[in-house]
Amino acid sequence: METTELIDLLSRGEDSRQQFKTDMNNADALAAEIVAFSNTAGGRIFIGVNDDGSVRGLSGTDVARLNMLIANVASQVVRPAVNPLTENVPHPNGIVMVVTIAEGVSKPYMDKNGTIWVKNGADKRRATSREELQRLFQQAGLVHADETPVAGLGAGDVDMPYFETFFEQQFGEPLAQHHQPLPQLLSNMNLMNQGQLNVAGSLLFAKTPQYTLPAFIVKAVAFVGTQIENATSTAATSPASWPTCSSRRWGSLLPTPAPSKANRGLTPRASPKFHASSGKSWSPTPSFTATTSSARRSVYWCLRIGSKSSAPATYLTT
Q: What is the CATH number for 135? A: 3.30.950.30
Can you tell me the distance from the alpha carbon of 187 to that of 194, in angstroms, rounded to the nearest whole number? 8
Indicate the pLDDT class of residue 10, thresholds 50, 70 and 90: very high
Examine the domain organization and report whether 68 and 27 are in the same domain: yes
Whether 58 shows a pLDDT value over 70: the answer reads yes
Examine the domain organization and report whether 26 and 55 are in the same domain: yes
Examine the domain organization and report whether 88 and 176 are in the same domain: no
Examine the domain organization and report whether 171 and 239 are in the same domain: no
At 9 the pLDDT is: 94
pTM: 0.51
Structural element, H or E, at residue 62:
helix 60-72
pLDDT, mean of residues 20-31? 94
At 71 the pLDDT is: 95
Examine the domain organization and report whether 33 and 47 are in the same domain: yes
Can you tell me the distance from the alpha carbon of 57 to that of 21, in angstroms, rounded to the nearest whole number? 11
Indicate the pLDDT class of residue 230, thresholds 50, 70 and 90: low
Whether 98 shows a pLDDT value over 60: the answer reads yes
What percent of the chain has a predicted confidence (pLDDT) above 90? 40
Domain ends where: 156, 187, 211? 211
Contact 291, 234 (CB under 8 A): no
What percent of the chain has a predicted confidence (pLDDT) above 70? 70
Indicate the pLDDT class of residue 266, thresholds 50, 70 and 90: very low
pLDDT, mean of residues 135-152? 76
At 88 the pLDDT is: 96
- Strands of the sheet containing 314-317, edge to edge, are 220-223, 314-317, 302-305, 266-270
Examine the domain organization and report whether 133 and 260 are in the same domain: no
Q: Does 230 or 45 have the greater pLDDT score?
A: 45
Examine the domain organization and report whether 252 and 236 are in the same domain: yes
At 131 the pLDDT is: 79
Indicate the pLDDT class of residue 314, thresholds 50, 70 and 90: very low
Examine the domain organization and report whether 88 and 204 are in the same domain: no
At 142 the pLDDT is: 64
Whether 141 shows a pLDDT value over 80: the answer reads no
At 214 the pLDDT is: 84
Whether 3 shows a pLDDT value over 70: the answer reads yes
pLDDT, mean of residues 13-27? 94
Q: Does 61 or 286 have the greater pLDDT score?
A: 61
- Residue-range definition of the domain harbouring residue 235: 217-318
- What are residue 98's phi and psi, to 5 degrees? -105, 115
Indicate the pLDDT class of residue 143, thresholds 50, 70 and 90: low
Examine the domain organization and report whether 14 and 129 are in the same domain: yes
At 296 the pLDDT is: 36
Counting the structural domains of the chain, the total is: 3
Closest CA to 252 of 278, 276, 270, 239: 270
Examine the domain organization and report whether 61 and 18 are in the same domain: yes
Whether 85 shows a pLDDT value over 90: the answer reads yes
Q: Describe the crossing of helices 27-39 and 60-72 by its angle, rounded to 10 degrees.
A: 60
Whether 228 shows a pLDDT value over 50: the answer reads yes
Query: Average pLDDT of the chain?
Result: 75
Domain ends where: 211, 241, 262? 211
At 64 the pLDDT is: 94
Examine the domain organization and report whether 25 and 107 are in the same domain: yes
Examine the domain organization and report whether 158 and 108 are in the same domain: no
Domain ends where: 163, 196, 211? 211
pLDDT, mean of residues 91-100? 95
